[in-house]
Structure 1
Amino acid sequence: MKQTPKMSQASSPNNKLINTLLLKSKSPSQYTIQSPAVSPTQVSLPKAFYPHKNSSIDLTKLATLMKQQKVKQSSSEGSKDSMTQLIAKARAIAMSAKTPSGPIHIRNDSAQVRKVNKESEVISPKATDAKQINKAAFTFEYVIGIGGFGKVWRVKRTGQQFAMKEMSKALVITKKSVNSVMNERMLLSQLKHTFLINMYYAFQDRENLYLVMDYMCGGDLRFHIGRMRRFNEEQTKFFVASIFIGLEYLHINNIIHRDIKPENLVLDEKGFVHITDLGIARVMKQENSSDTSGTPGYMAPEVMCRQNHTFAVDYYALGVIAYEFMLGRRPYVGRSRQEIRDQILARQVQIKASEVPPNWSVEAVDFVNRLLQRKPASRLGFNGGHEIKLHPWFKNFPWSKLQNRELKAPFVPNPSDDNFDQRQIVIEDEENAELIAQNIQLLRDPNAQQQFAGYEYQSNNEKIFVFDQSKQS
């Protein structure tokens, strides 16, 4: 009977650490040592081993220490004790070299290490975790959208479909939007709801940030309003109610979305609406007059005029969308933010009886007009979301059934269609590629990379929305 071979002395974990610490060639390149919490006070070391505060380990003196300890390659119990004491001392030295803002380092000067680390990435410590997911874990199928910072892919992992937002760090930095993308990642990690686009993973590499979220095959409402020109009252009411449920959840969690528009409202295969893009969403606070980002055509007057604002700005945007679905145009249009602002200040838009399309109710017109009030205090929803639900247009509306997805949507996207404009994707992708090429050198600066530290995220929850692949060709 064969005996199980014993681990050689040279390959034991302790001797591996010793061999690492005894590397003779030193360079400015650094290795990270993961050491257990051993306090320097637990062992007595001469002061000479600490050249100065927060310095790297002096390997020459460490080697001397090892010689002084006379550690021998032996299996005797006494040698094991000596080895244990030596390892404790080595780790104590490592602990003494820990800096307040970074990991523990030792210096290594070998040419090979210098070559390997020539263009090392500066990423958050969490990203170095062996369990941290990366893009190699996904099968990339095709691009389904283009954003301001890059592409949105349809991807697959473990039999499930996801949407992966791939954002160029160079574009994010160039457009001064680091706070925006970090803010979105932070908010998404704290939110989960049926009528939101939920996040499951976030990670990064040297050039890009990645957000992995719910995949919706139905396309966004901008695509559909472009095709349909208008929606009927039943369809509009269903859309508005679905958007409201998502907003109600955000508001309960003290978050203002601030960029509700058709591009950020995505349909699933059954026609339910999901809110996406929390890049400029903010936690509600009393003083927020400086938060003026948004899309001019959907931006509330108080935001446009740099005033403090509340959740009512989202209800104003909801009114703009309902107006657009009813009449096929926005209430205020212009070539610039200033033109739209001037129009808002000049007049209060109200839907006139002569403008109302056939088969639309008076209650629907009143609902939209009250959402579009320029003065926040006069706007429907200013005193709370309950005002929306209590409006006559939603009398006897089955809110609970909608919340539980038990209603049949009056507009269901065609499952055989792509539900996105491939031509627009090509145009915008070329524009982004040109900007990236012009600004990619920004990423060579370690400080630029450090701006994205802590971006990684991995959800422990199962998917809230599961895409039915059986309906896809």
Structure 2
Amino acid sequence: MNRSLHAKQPSQSNVSKLLTKFAAPNPFPTKPGHPPSSLLNPNQTSRQPSPTNASNALKEKGIDIGKYDGGLEIDDEKRGQLIYGEAAEDLALDSSVSRKHPTREWHLTDFDMGRPLGKGKFGRVYMVRTKAEPKYILALKTLYKSEIVQSKVEKQIRREIEIQQNLRHPNVLRLYGYFHDTKRIFLMLEFAGKGELYKQLSKHGCFSERRSSRYIDQMADALSYLHGKHVIHRDIKPENLLLGINGELKIGDFGWSVHAPGNRRMTLCGTLDYLPPEMVEGKEHNEKVDLWALGVLTYEFLIGNPPFEDRSSVSNTYRRIAKVDLKFPATISVEVKDLITKLLQYDPQRRLALSSVLKHPWIVKYRPKDTVRPSGGHT
């Protein structure tokens, strides 16, 4: 697959493109002296893999975090103004005073800085290690407050942080904590050891049915968890997925996510190739937009391109989505065609439920024998 031709429509002002190439180990204690497990969801069962093994592996190998390039100091001289008033209050974000999951108080001086992992719209991402034992490795992402204000995304940033900090699932990238100084907000993110899934897809062109099935199995379990918490992701696509230290999939971008207990939304958001008919046609939508995106993702994993893409015209892509103009190459199995067809339904109510995705023959066929999934998904 020639990815240079495969130019996707970008997410609208995608505020939280996670450029972390490496991700972090164990959850942090909420307070000094508490065991790391105190940050795990109390409902988390043994079917979910413990992060401890990955954590120990990182510590045992004595991972080199690389050389710091002084970028934070350089940026501090060149960019970002002080903000005042209501905007300053809105962006004084600190997880030590979080109502649900307060952490210890963090400061930039608590970390050994390592190599840069990338640049986001509002700042840089660095590989860092906590100075205190046990020396955890994570990705530290910076956001400049004045640039957030200029882009008028204060509420979106706050919402994204609040949503992500409350999520505890092995296939969802963890936000361990956050803190701020006069100009910046710092996000302490999990360190996704095997990088961006999009890069893997670009490298291979497409994935085998076995690999695709295992990723979709993990996606369906994670989405079931999110929907059980009334979180709609709304921007599922390969660019927003990362791979953990053991190659496990991680949903890593919550810039368009919304906590919607009422589950009816009108905002047009996400990425064109992954938009469902109800969004294209300007209708109300609910969590079933993520089911459509799961079908598109399955197709793209196997074929290398999303199913409704038309490189000659954006309007043709819209038209194909609205008509559900779905074509399959002869190379893919009857089983996966069945799954994709049942997810890519025009009527959101007819899309296959996540609990049924987890029991679908194509998913069960390739699931590792030691993996246990709940019969009805998460609640």
Please, what TM-score do these two structures have when normalized by structure 2? 0.66
| Structure 1 CA distance for aligned equivalents of residues 169 and 263 of structure 2 | 28
2:179 pairs with one of 203, 210, 225: 203
Aligned to 1:442: none
| Structure 2 CA distance for aligned equivalents of residues 212 and 285 of structure 1 | 27
In structure 2, what residue type is equivalent to 1:401?
A: D
2:361 pairs with one of 387, 392, 395: 392
- Residue 232 of structure 2 is aligned to residue 232 of structure 1: no
Pairwise CA distance, 1:306: 2.6
Structure 1 residues 233-272: aligned runs within 5 Å: 233-272=209-248
| Structure 2 CA distance for aligned equivalents of residues 326 and 194 of structure 1 | 24
| Structure 1 CA distance for aligned equivalents of residues 240 and 297 of structure 2 | 11
Kindly tell me: are residues 128 and 193 of structure 1, through their superposed partners in 2, closer, same or farther at Cα, counting changes over 3 Å? closer
Pick which of 222-231 and 173-182 moved more. 173-182
Pairwise CA distance, 1:326: 1.1
In structure 1, what residue type is equivalent to 2:268?
A: T
| Structure 1 CA distance for aligned equivalents of residues 352 and 202 of structure 2 | 28
Residues 288 and 307 in structure 1, CA contact (< 8 A), matched pair in contact too: no
Residues 388-421 of structure 1 deviation map (CA, whole Å, 9 limit, x = unaligned): 12323234665883369xxxxxxxxxxxxxxxxx
Q: Select the structure that is richer in helix.
A: 1
Residues 286 and 308 in structure 1, CA contact (< 8 A), matched pair in contact too: no
In structure 1, what residue type is equivalent to 2:155?
A: N
Aligned to 2:335: 363
Aligned to 2:318: 341
In structure 2, what residue type is equivalent to 1:341?
A: Y
Aligned to 2:123: 150
Q: Secondary structure at the match of 1:401?
A: coil
Residues 78-130 of structure 1 deviation map (CA, whole Å, 9 limit, x = unaligned): xxxxxxxxxxxxxxxxxxxxxxxxxxxxxxxxxxxxxxxxx79755496999x
- Residue 371 of structure 2 is aligned to residue 402 of structure 1: yes
Kindly tell me: are residues 366 and 258 of structure 1, through their superposed partners in 2, closer, same or farther at Cα, counting changes over 3 Å? same
Residues 163 and 213 in structure 1, CA contact (< 8 A), matched pair in contact too: yes
1:297 pairs with one of 258, 268, 273: 273
Pairwise CA distance, 1:140: 2.0
Kindly tell me: are residues 202 and 194 of structure 1, through their superposed partners in 2, closer, same or farther at Cα, counting changes over 3 Å? same
Residues 242-272 of structure 1 deviation map (CA, whole Å, 9 limit, x = unaligned): 1111111111111111111111111012111
Q: Secondary structure at the match of 2:338?
A: helix
Structure 1 residues 47-446: aligned runs within 5 Å: 122=88, 124=92, 132-157=105-130, 158=132, 159-286=135-262, 288-334=264-310, 338=315, 340-345=317-322, 347-352=323-328, 355-357=329-331, 360-381=332-353, 385-395=354-364, 398=367, 401-402=370-371
Q: Secondary structure at the match of 1:162?
A: strand
Count of matched residue pairs: 277
Kindly tell me: are residues 323 and 136 of structure 1, through their superposed partners in 2, closer, same or farther at Cα, counting changes over 3 Å? same
Residues 336-393 of structure 1 deviation map (CA, whole Å, 9 limit, x = unaligned): 8655323322x323233xx132xx4210121122222222123222xxx212123232
| Structure 2 CA distance for aligned equivalents of residues 247 and 370 of structure 1 | 17
Residues 303 and 309 in structure 1, CA contact (< 8 A), matched pair in contact too: yes
Unmatched segments (≥5 aa) in structure 2: 1-81, 98-103, 374-379
Kindly tell me: are residues 194 and 363 of structure 1, through their superposed partners in 2, closer, same or farther at Cα, counting changes over 3 Å? same
Q: Secondary structure at the match of 1:390?
A: coil
Larger Rg: 1
| Structure 2 CA distance for aligned equivalents of residues 128 and 301 of structure 1 | 42
Pairwise CA distance, 1:305: 2.5
Q: Secondary structure at the match of 1:217?
A: coil
Residues 351 and 369 in structure 1, CA contact (< 8 A), matched pair in contact too: no
| Structure 2 CA distance for aligned equivalents of residues 170 and 128 of structure 1 | 23
| Structure 2 CA distance for aligned equivalents of residues 161 and 149 of structure 1 | 22
In structure 2, what residue type is equivalent to 1:368?
A: I
Residues 235 and 270 in structure 2, CA contact (< 8 A), matched pair in contact too: yes
Pairwise CA distance, 1:170: 3.0
Kindly tell me: are residues 363 and 144 of structure 1, through their superposed partners in 2, closer, same or farther at Cα, counting changes over 3 Å? same
Q: Secondary structure at the match of 1:402?
A: coil
Aligned to 2:377: none
| Structure 2 CA distance for aligned equivalents of residues 239 and 210 of structure 1 | 30
Considering only aligned residues, what root-mean-square deviation do their CA atoms show, in Å? 2.7
In structure 2, what residue type is equivalent to 1:356?
A: A
Residues 333 and 340 in structure 1, CA contact (< 8 A), matched pair in contact too: yes
* Identity level (%): 27
Residues 182-214 of structure 1 deviation map (CA, whole Å, 9 limit, x = unaligned): 001111232212111111111112222211011
Structure 1 residues 439-458: aligned runs within 5 Å: none
In structure 2, what residue type is equivalent to 1:325?
A: F
| Structure 2 CA distance for aligned equivalents of residues 198 and 400 of structure 1 | 26
| Structure 2 CA distance for aligned equivalents of residues 300 and 140 of structure 1 | 42
| Structure 1 CA distance for aligned equivalents of residues 253 and 96 of structure 2 | 28
In structure 2, what residue type is equivalent to 1:344?
A: I
Residues 289 and 306 in structure 1, CA contact (< 8 A), matched pair in contact too: no
Residues 245 and 403 in structure 1, CA contact (< 8 A), matched pair in contact too: no
